[in-house]
Amino acid sequence: MGSAYRQFFTGARPWIIFGVSILFAFLVCSEAPFAKMTNAVCKSLNESWVVFHYCRLKAYSRNKTSLHLNATFLEPTNNVFVRIRVMKKANGYKPFLVDVTINGCQFLRKNNNPIFKIIYNMIKDVSTANHTCPFVGLQTISDFHVLKIPVPLPTGDYLLLMDCIFYDKMQFITNVYLTYVEDLLETRKES
Ligand SMILES: *[C@@H]1O[C@H](CO)[C@@H](O)[C@H](O)[C@H]1NC(C)=O
Ligand SMILES: *[C@@H]1O[C@H](CO)[C@@H](O)[C@H](O)[C@H]1NC(C)=O
Ligand SMILES: *[C@@H]1O[C@H](CO)[C@@H](O)[C@H](O)[C@H]1NC(C)=O
Ligand SMILES: CC(=O)N[C@H]1CO[C@H](CO)[C@@H](O)[C@@H]1O
């Protein structure tokens, strides 16, 4: 697995960011078109490094939820890669367009990716990711709910998978399920 990841990273563009945050960038949206997070799952694969205390959606209303996440990194890490994949539901979840791996520490130093910069700017105020590496100790995302999905998507159920890798070893995953409705605005206009 280690060498497979290394190979993948070598080929990958040095996209952005720090881990936990990114994921959610694609997800949520408080404005039309309509997007709603429906479930969040966090899992540490190495509890001597990463421990999740809290990973949950709270409901504001029937069509709006917010994400709360709280984890501790027990040791410092200066090497964070995040792989993000989007799946779309169609007889089970199938890969959908996005499969990128980003170098989190590099992005935080150089702010060198314009797309992720937009996302990061939205995330930083509700997370503890607003600093350069190393990352250690308590990491949180609090009440994350305001985001615009930057590209139009077909209506459907989506799953955002985030694998977080420290020094070539998978340490945790965060998966967020969401529902996206493309034409809410149109429907409203017609009615
Ligand atoms: C698990 O975490 C410990 C503590 O940081 C680290 O030394 C070890 O290499 C990690 N193991 C794996 C398989 O990632
Ligand atoms: C994170 O979770 C721990 C354990 O439940 C709790 O003690 C701590 O207050 C929480 N911190 C934040 C910022 O939510
Ligand atoms: C939530 O959905 C209901 C009906 O489905 C709609 O009337 C309401 O305007 C929606 N609220 C927001 C904030 O979109
Ligand atoms: C590393 C980084 O992004 N630091 C920023 C954290 O947030 C403050 C206030 O928004 C900025 O001034 C820093 O540049």
CA distances 185 to 18, 152, 180, Å, are: 33, 13, 12
Give the ligand 3 atom nearest the CA of 61.
1
Residue 118, pLDDT score: 65
Ligand 3 in contact with 62 (CB < 6 A)? yes
To test ligand 1's pocket by mutation, which of 43, 44, 46, 135 has the most ligand atoms within 8 angstroms of CB?
Answer: 46
Higher pLDDT residue, 36 or 165? 165
State the ligand closest to the CA atom of 146: 3
Class of domain 34-190: mainly beta
Q: What is the pTM for the complete model shown? A: 0.76
Task: Give residues (CB < 6 A) around ligand 2.
Answer: 53-54, 70, 140
Residue ranges per domain, the chain? Answer: 1-30, 34-190
Tokens of 105: 């520490």
Residue 184 confidence (pLDDT): 52
Q: Which residues pair with 116 in a beta bridge?
A: none
